[in-house]
Structure formats: structure tokens, C-alpha cells
């Protein structure tokens, strides 16, 4: 059945259809053709084709039996390493179907696992290496511990360039009978930040309103997806109304389920549009960097962000 | 059924707290044709704009024809649907009322939508009611001129309180007076929010006993907070939270909630700075399992936050219970469908649930507009309903 979700409908099914990753794709294709693949680590930003490539490998190897020989896990969704191990164990217990002597486990977002969990995973990889191959994906290979990296062939994925994104957009536009002008493509490319999945989703979202895709319409859809109210929050803080700023922040984060990290990213960008002295911009950026670090480290985002807002209140008073 | 639907007013007499608006709208419909052809109802969320329009239609036996902002975006659709509706007399019913709901949903890119609306007002033979939260944007300049503008006030807390009490009687929820008052104040004039909160809370069976239990602990924490926020620190301040029977994590929440009630400007910033460092050490304890860091957590939270003030403070301050956790919990209740939708979606398209949640605004539009996808993902009726909200 053809999916109505475009990210699925237009997901590449052949190696040659993946755009922008020639180098990695060629090497993986060669390995797949040899019918014997090593453990692999796909590193690169979101929406650049990591899961897609894994799926192609699996379908090439097992043809119609691929579902039986393939397990997909997402490290950021599974509750702890024990669940991952349990699922791997159950899956790896039975032999593979067909003439390939191993099954494939795709562990998406492996860098969401803590170093300790990765150590445990490494044991699991060793225990089942006779019957299973692991393909792991991550955003940054540096977040994967060395022992795992050394067991895997590393493939790097890069952000899609404009020509790659354009190719995808025009292909879909033609198939879906959309009219789209270069200005709209430009905005779509800027808005998706090299992430193909996001690009297609924005395109489908726009097309669900009208089949003639204009730059304005795309811009509306994109602006709906950004933490819009951050400026309002900062304006309250700068005007000295801490309480309002705080309420608005909490409300925004809860209502739209925006993570602390997304909020701080938006604040960091917004600082440059604020009507404050250059020295103040730098000071606030220093503070913002420190707060982002703390949040990444696992501090409570609400408390940390409130302390940042309090600094903005001071900046508004013209003090430090 | 959501209580906001169940208890939506059906008659003018059931509309609470908007007597003046009711009179004006009756007058508008009675004298339609003599003056302006559209009425622009504006006011904060949950003040009864949509209800008012529906009741007005019902009481006058008008057939109601409803549009929302996303319809206005699409000129084609409007022309095909609305124009015939304006021009033809409907068969069973002589009269129609056109309701254009939430017109401020028209984005800045949709000037065309406003233009379309102005044209419709020009050509209509039926009364039009338009609702909006905020009409002072310049894109509505012309619209304001073409319409009779009627502002709805925030609903008074006493009225909200009486409505909540009434509903809890019908739904047989035992709820004490203090708590109804608290809910009503928290709603800040938004009756819909208050009813939604009541319904959410009614699902936790022993919520009220939890609240009563907390009341006892509160006297202790109030005294400790008073010392920290009002007095200059002494060595005794270091032990100020010792007698409070709460975990240090809970105490942090209390302090967080109440810093702005006592401090402002420089003191506020320094106090939050120390609170955020308290939180950093809390994280380090969990991470390293190095419990000596508790010393720093404790010193910053008590003596540290007491030390930021220049002078001791006078006067009485009522400290508030931390609302954040409750708000998070209630929000989670509201977003259960969002979560379940993202779960189905993420499994289907090979992304993590977390990512699907992050990109929900885009995904939502895609799912909402396409019944085929809803079927493909096997979405339940409730989930589809959530998408439409």
C-alpha cells in the first residue's frame, strides 16, 4: 500500500535515490552487495537519510523476508538499557530466515544512551555477534564510546545542500501536482535547515492548505512551528515584569511541549534583535551559554531559565 | 463528553456574566438591515464569544453557518461554499446566521483572508458574527470599521466560582469552598479553562485529601520562607528548613515559586542565580552520587537566598503553593492524545516519539487535513477530535 504520508511515500527505496550522501551510500552499497556487513555506525544530523539507508540495506539483503529479520529500536524512546537488552535478546534468540546468516538490529539515536548504558550495549553486541549485526545511528559520533566505535564501520552523513533539497522538492511537487515557485523553494530550504524529513513535512503541511505553494504560505507554516512567544517572554523580562515573563514561559513550554533546550536556542538567537547595548548582548550571551550547558548537563530547565530571565530583568534596568 | 460542551449555554438566560453583551446582540439581530451587517465580538479566551453566537442563532431559530480562519485562507473554498449560502434562501429555514470564528487566526500572510471577509460582509443578506481575541492589529483596521464592535469582559471570579460549584454538584464531586475559590482565581476570567481544570481534577479520586494533607505541612514551610525572605541571615538561617517535613526538592519548588513575591531587580537576579546553583549541585549529587554536595545545596537555598537583600523586609506576604508540578500534571492530562498520536506516528515513519512531539505543529496539520492518513495510522475518534481542536 502506498502511504499517504509523504515522508513514507517518497522514502528512497534504492541506494541511488538517496541524495547528498554519495560517499557513504556507495560504501554501504558495496558492503551490502557482498552479502556480509559489519556492525555499522551512521553519524549525522536528523533527516539526512540514516534510517532510510538502514532500511534499504535490510530490504536488499532479505527481500520479502525483511520484516522477520529486522528489529528497529529507538534509544531515546526505550525505557533504559535493560529494555533494549531484553528486546535484543528475544529477537536474537531465533535464527535468521533465508540465506543470510545474521539478522539486523537498527538502534536509532544511540547517542541518547548514557556512557554506562553504552557499555552494557557493547556486551550485548559481543554476545550476539554471531547471529546479529547492529546498525546504529547517532547525531554525533563523539557521543558514542570508543569501544563501540571501534567495533563499527563509521559512515558520516552531512546536512543536505540546497541542490539536494531542491531535487527532492521538485520531484514531490511534480508527483503531487503542486505548483511551486523558486521563492517558495528557497524559504522551504532555509526553514528545513538541511533536514529532508522536516522539508517534506513542511511541504505536505503547506500543501494540505493549498496546492499552489507560495513563499508566504510556507513562511506561515514554518513560523507556526517555532517558539514564537519567546520574544514576548523576553520583552516582559526587559520591561521589568518578571512575574509575567515567568508565567508566559511556563505556559509556552507546557502548551506547546517545547523543551528547555529549544527555548534556550531561541533565546540565544533573539538576543541579537533586542534593543540593548552591545556589551549587554555579550554578557547575556555568556549567561545564556552557561545556562544551556547546565540544562544539557541535566539541571532543571525551569529553574535555570528563570535565573536567566532574572538576568534579562537586570539588563532591562541597565544594570548587570 | 468534555464538560465545556456538556455545560455550554443553550439559552440567553444561561449565559453568565455577559448581560450587557446579550442585550446588544439581541438588538443587533432585531435591527438587522438598518445598520452594519456584521458584529465583531472580541474578548479574552473563555468569555463566551462562540457560545453567545450559537445561543443567538438558537433563540432566533436561525440556521447557523460556521467558518473558521483556515477556511478564509482558501478563497476557492469560500466562493464555492459561502457565496451560495449568502445568496440563496435556505429551504426549511428562512434565516441564517453566519459565524466566522476566531478570525485572529488569520496570519499576517493572509491579508487576502481579511479582504475576502470584507467582501462577504458587503454582499451578505444575512447577519454575520465574527469572533476574535484581539482585534487591535492593523490588519483588522477596515474590518473594525465595517462591523459593530462588541467587547466581552473577562468573567468575574465570583461568577466562575458559582458555575464551578454548580457543575460539581451535578457531577457529584465533593469539593470545598477554598478549593473552588482557588480554581476560580486561577482561571483569570477564562470560564472554559476553569471548567476544564475541574474536569481534569475530578479524575484524581483523592485529590482533595492530598490537598488537605499538604495544608499541615504548609505552616512549617511558611515560617521558614518568611525567615529566609524577610530577615537578614544569621547562622541559624542555615538550619531554617530542617524542621520542614518536605524533601529538599520540594522546598526548592516553594522557594522558586515565591522569590518574585519578595525580591525584585538586583535582589531577584541574585536570588535566582543562587537557586540555579542549588539546582546545579542537586544535579551533581544525582550524577556523581557524592552526597557532600548537599552542603552547598543547603547553604545556597537558605543562607544564600536570605543574604541577597540589602535590608530586612517588613510587612506580611502570603506565600503561594508551588503550582508548577500540578500544572505539568494537568498539562500531561490534556496532552495524552498528543502523546498517543505521536506514538502511532513515530512507529510508522521510523522516528523517535520525542522527535515527533517536537515536530508536532507541522505533523498535526498534515494529519488533520487528511482522513486517509488518519485511517492509515489507525487513529481513534478521540485522537482525531484532538487534532481538530
Cβ of B363 within 8 Å of Cβ of A294? The answer is no
On whether both B197 and B214 belong to a single domain, the answer is no
Nearest to B342 by CA among B364, B332, B357: B357
Among A249-253, B7-11, B245-249, B328-332, the minimum mean pLDDT is found in B328-332
Co-location of B22 and B78 in the same domain: yes
Cα→Cα distances B312→A227, B225, B228, Å = 40, 13, 10
Specify burial of residue A74 (Cβ count, 10 A radius: 0-12, 13-18, 19+). Answer: buried
Nearest to A136 by CA among A206, A217, A71: A71
What grid cell was written down for B239?
538550619
Among A311-320, B48-57, B229-238, whose mean pLDDT is lowest?
Answer: A311-320
Dump pLDDT digits (tens) for A166-189: 999 999 999 999 999 999 999 999
Cα(B188)–Cα(B156) distance, integer angstroms = 8
Mean of the pLDDT values across residues A61-77? 88
**CB atoms B280 and A294 under 8 Å:** yes
pLDDT in tens, A7-58: 999 999 999 999 999 999 999 999 999 888 999 999 999 999 999 999 999 9
Q: Are residues B48 and B103 in the same domain?
A: yes
Using the Cα atoms of residue A189, residue A193, residue A196 and residue A199 in order, give the sign of their dihedral: negative
The fraction of chain B above a pLDDT of 90, given in percent, is: 24
In a domain, B133, yes or no: yes
CATH number of residue B250's parent domain: 1.20.272
Verify that B57 and B97 share a domain, yes or no: yes
> What is the structure's pLDDT at A65?
87
Query: Is B241 a member of any domain?
Result: yes
Q: What is the distance in angstroms between the Cα of A124 and the nearest Cα belonging to chain B?
A: 22
Can you give the pLDDT at residue B79?
A: 67
Integer Cα distance of B191 and B155 in angstroms: 7
Q: What percentage of chain B reaches a pLDDT higher than 70? A: 86
**B365 with A55: Cβ contact below 8 A:** no
Query: CA neighbours within 13 Å on the CB side: how many for A157?
Result: 29
Q: How far does Cα B268 stand from its chain's mean position?
A: 27
Distance CA B313, CA B258 (A): 14
Give the span between the Cα atoms of A243 and B256, in whole angstroms: 12
Domains and CATH numbers, chain A: 21-156 (3.40.50.300), 162-225 (1.10.8.60), 230-316 (1.20.272.10)
Report DSSP state, residue A15: G
pLDDT of residue A116: 81
Q: Which residues of A touch B275 (CB under 8 A)?
A: 303, 306-307
Confidence of residue B102 (pLDDT cuts 50, 70, 90): confident
Please say which residue of B302, B325, B348 terminates a domain: B325
SS3 label, residue A134: strand
Least confident of A187-196, A257-266, B62-71: B62-71
Specify the DSSP element, H or E, that contains A106.
Answer: strand A103-108
CA-CA distance, A10 to A3, in Å (whole number)? Answer: 9
Chain B residues whose beta carbon lies within 8 Å of the beta carbon of residue A76: 352-354
Using only C-alpha atoms, chain B has a radius of gyration, in whole angstroms, of 27
**Predicted pLDDT at A287:** 94
Pairwise CA distance, residues B45 & B287, whole Å: 43
Q: In the structure grid, which three cell numbers stand for residue A174, read together?
A: 511534480
Looking at residues B4-17, what average pLDDT do you find?
A: 87
CA distance A259 to A46: 17
The residues with which B16 forms a beta bridge, in sequence order, are none
The owner of cell 528548613 is: B241
Using the predicted structure, report yes or no on whether residue A205 has a pLDDT greater than 60. yes
Q: Bridge-partner residues for B63, per DSSP?
A: B96
Residue of B nearest to A259 (CA): B358
Average pLDDT estimate for A245-270: 86
Say whether B64 sits in a helix, a strand or coil.
Answer: strand
Of B104, B118, B7, B98, nearest in space to B56 by CA: B98
Residue A320 pLDDT > 60, yes or no? no
Instruction: Return the C-alpha cell found at A284.
Output: 547575556
pLDDT number for residue A284:
93
Q: Which residue has the cell 515522508?
A: A7
Is 50 exceeded by the pLDDT of residue A106? yes
Residues B28 and B90 in one domain: yes
pLDDT digits (tens, 9 = 90+) for A221-241: 887 766 667 888 999 999 989
Question: Is the pLDDT score of B323 beyond 60?
Answer: yes
pLDDT for residue B156 is more than 50: yes
Query: What would the mean pLDDT of A209-213 be, rounded to a whole number?
Result: 89
B312 has a pLDDT exceeding 50:
yes
Residue B25 lies in a domain: yes
Same domain, B55 and B163: no
The minimum CA-CA distance between B165 and chain A, rounded to whole Å, is 26
| B199/B215 same-domain check | no
Element (H, E) at B66: strand B63-68
Nearest to A117 by CA among A149, A150, A82, A86: A82
pLDDT at B212: 46
Judge whether residue B111 has pLDDT over 60.
Answer: no
Band of pLDDT at residue B326, cut at 50, 70 and 90: confident
Q: Is the pLDDT of residue A243 over 80?
A: yes
Q: Indicate which CATH number applies to the domain containing B136.
A: 3.40.50.300
**Residue among B232, B257, B230, B254 nearest B241 (CA):** B254
- What pTM value is reported for the model? 0.57
- Which of B8-12, B80-84, B288-292, B347-351 shows the lowest mean pLDDT across its residues? B80-84
Are B9 and B55 within 8 A, CB to CB? yes
Average of per-residue pLDDT values in chain A: 89
Report CB contact under 8 Å: A303, B256: yes
ipTM of predicted complex: 0.75
Picking from B70, B365, B73, B77, the residue whose alpha carbon sits closest to that of residue A6 is: B365
What residues in A contact B353, CB-CB < 8 Å? Answer: 74, 76-77
Residues of B in contact with A205 (CB under 8 A): 362-363, 365-366
Interface contact flag, A4 B376, Cβ < 8 Å = yes
Q: State the pLDDT at residue B81.
A: 66
Domain housing B185: 157-203
Q: What is the pLDDT of residue A90?
A: 86
Considering the domain boundaries, does residue B330 fall inside one? no
* B144 shares its domain with B58: yes
Put simply, the answer to whether A302 touches B256 (Cβ < 8 Å) is yes
Q: How many domains does chain B have?
A: 4
Q: Are A219 and B109 in contact (CB under 8 A)?
A: yes
- Lowest-confidence region among A79-83, A266-270, B187-191, B319-323: A79-83
DSSP character string of B82-116: HHHHHHSPPSS-S-EEEEEE-GGGS-TT-HHHHHH
Range with the poorest average pLDDT among A212-226, A264-278, B90-104, B121-135 = B90-104
**Residue where a domain stops, chosen among B151, B171, B193:** B151
Q: Are residues B30 and B103 in the same domain?
A: yes
Residues of A in contact with B185 (CB under 8 A): none
Q: Does position B217 have pLDDT exceeding 70, yes or no? A: no
B217 and B189 in one domain?
A: no
Q: What are phi and psi of A70, to 5 degrees?
A: -135, 130
Domain boundary (B304, B325, B346) is at: B325
Mean pLDDT of chain B: 83
Taking a C-beta distance cutoff of 8 angstroms, is the pair A206, A191 a contact? Answer: no
Q: B29 and B112: one domain?
A: yes
Query: What is the reported pLDDT for A220?
Result: 85
Amino acid at each position: 500500500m502506498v502511504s499517504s504520508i509523504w515522508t513514507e511515500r517518497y522514502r528512497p527505496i534504492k541506494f541511488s535515490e538517496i541524495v547528498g550522501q554519495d560517499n557513504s551510500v556507495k560504501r554501504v552499497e558495496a558492503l551490502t552487495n557482498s552479502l556480509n556487513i559489519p556492525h555499522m555506525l551512521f553519524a549525522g544530523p536528523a533527516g539526512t537519510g540514516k534510517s532510510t539507508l538502514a532500511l534499504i540495506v535490510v530490504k536488499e539483503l532479505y527481500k520479502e523476508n525483511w520484516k522477520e529479520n529486522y528489529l528497529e529500536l529507538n534509544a531515546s524512546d526505550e525505557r533504559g538499557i535493560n529494555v533494549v537488552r531484553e528486546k535484543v535478546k528475544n529477537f536474537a534468540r531465533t535464527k535468521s530466515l533465508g540465506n543470510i546468516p545474521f539478522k539486523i538490529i537498527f538502534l536509532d539515536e544511540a547517542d541518547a544512551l548514557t556512557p554506562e548504558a553504552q557499555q552494557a550495549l557493547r556486551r550485548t553486541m559481543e554476545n550476539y555477534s554471531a547471529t546479529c549485526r547492529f546498525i546504529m545511528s547517532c547525531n554525533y559520533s563523539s557521543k558514542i564510546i570508543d569501544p563501540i566505535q571501534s567495533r563499527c564501520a563509521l559512515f558520516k552523513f552531512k546536512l543536505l545542500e540546497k541542490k539536494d533539497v531542491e531535487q527532492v522538492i521538485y520531484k514531490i511537487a511534480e508527483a503531487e501536482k503542486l505548483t511551486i515557485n523558486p521563492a517558495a523553494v528557497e524559504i522551504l530550504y532555509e526553514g528545513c535547515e538541511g533536514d529532508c524529513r522536516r522539508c517534506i513535512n513542511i511541504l505536505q503541511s503547506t500543501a494540505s492548505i493549498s496546492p499552489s505553494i507560495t513563499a508566504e504560505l510556507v513562511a506561515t507554516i514554518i513560523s507556526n512551528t517555532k517558539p514564537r512567544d519567546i520574544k514576548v517572554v523576553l520583552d516582559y523580562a526587559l520591561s521589568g515584569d518578571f512575574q509575567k515573563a515567568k508565567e508566559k514561559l511556563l505556559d509556552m513550554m507546557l502548551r506547546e511541549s517545547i523543551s528547555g533546550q529549544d527555548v534556550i536556542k531561541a533565546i540565544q538567537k533573539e538576543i541579537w534583535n533586542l534593543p540593548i547595548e552591545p556589551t549587554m548582548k555579550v554578557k547575556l550571551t555568556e549567561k545564556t551559554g552557561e545556562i544551556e550547558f547546565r540544562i544539557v548537563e541535566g539541571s532543571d530547565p525551569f529553574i535555570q531559565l528563570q535565573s536567566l530571565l532574572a538576568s534579562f530583568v537586570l539588563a532591562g534596568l541597565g544594570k548587570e | 463528553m468534555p464538560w465545556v460542551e456538556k455545560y455550554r449555554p443553550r439559552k440567553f438566560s444561561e449565559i453568565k456574566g455577559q448581560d450587557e453583551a446579550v442585550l446588544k446582540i439581541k438588538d443587533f439581530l432585531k435591527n438587522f438591515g438598518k445598520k452594519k451587517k456584521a458584529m465583531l465580538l472580541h474578548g479574552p479566551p473563555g468569555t463566551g464569544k462562540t457560545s453567545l453566537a450559537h445561543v443567538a442563532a438558537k433563540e432566533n431559530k436561525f440556521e447557523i453557518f460556521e467558518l473558521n480562519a483556515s477556511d478564509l485562507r482558501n478563497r476557492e473554498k469560500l466562493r464555492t461554499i459561502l457565496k451560495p449560502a449568502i445568496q440563496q434562501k435556505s429551504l426549511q429555514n428562512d434565516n441564517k446566521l453566519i459565524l466566522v470564528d476566531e478570525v485572529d487566526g488569520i496570519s499576517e500572510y493572509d491579508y487576502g483572508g481579511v479582504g475576502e471577509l470584507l467582501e462577504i460582509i458587503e454582499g451578505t443578506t444575512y447577519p454575520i458574527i465574527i469572533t476574535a481575541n484581539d482585534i487591535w492589529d492593523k490588519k483588522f483596521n477596515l474590518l473594525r470599521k465595517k462591523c459593530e464592535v462588541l467587547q466581552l469582559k473577562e468573567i468575574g471570579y465570583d461568577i466562575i466560582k458559582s458555575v464551578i460549584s454548580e457543575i460539581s454538584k451535578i457531577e457529584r464531586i465533593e469539593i470545598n469552598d477554598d478549593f473552588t475559590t482557588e480554581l476560580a482565581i486561577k482561571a483569570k476570567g477564562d470560564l472554559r479553562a476553569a471548567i476544564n481544570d475541574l474536569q481534569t481534577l475530578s479524575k484524581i479520586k483523592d485529590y482533595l485529601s492530598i490537598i488537605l494533607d499538604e495544608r499541615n505541612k504548609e505552616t512549617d514551610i511558611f515560617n521558614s520562607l518568611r525567615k529566609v525572605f524577610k530577615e537578614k541571615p544569621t547562622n541559624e538561617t542555615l538550619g531554617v528548613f530542617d524542621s520542614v517535613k518536605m524533601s529538599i526538592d520540594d522546598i526548592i519548588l516553594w522557594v522558586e515559586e515565591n522569590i518574585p513575591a519578595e525580591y525584585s531587580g538586583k535582589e531577584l537576579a541574585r536570588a535566582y542565580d543562587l537557586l540555579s546553583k542549588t539546582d546545579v549541585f542537586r544535579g551533581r549529587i544525582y550524577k556523581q552520587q557524592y552526597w557532600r554536595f548537599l552542603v552547598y545545596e543547603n547553604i545556597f537555598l537558605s543562607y544564600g537566598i536570605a543574604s541577597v537583600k540589602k535590608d530586612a523586609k517588613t510587612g506580611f506576604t502570603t506565600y503561594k503553593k508551588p503550582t508548577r508540578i500540578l500544572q505539568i500534571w494537568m498539562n500531561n492530562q490534556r496532552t495524552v492524545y498528543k502523546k498517543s498520536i505521536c506514538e502511532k506516528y513515530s512507529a510508522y515513519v521510523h522516528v523517535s516519539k520525542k522527535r515527533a512531539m517536537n515536530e508536532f505543529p507541522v505533523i498535526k496539520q498534515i494529519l488533520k487535513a487528511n482522513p486517509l492518513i488518519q485511517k492509515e495510522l489507525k487513529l481513534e475518534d478521540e485522537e482525531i477530535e484532538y487534532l481538530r481542536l
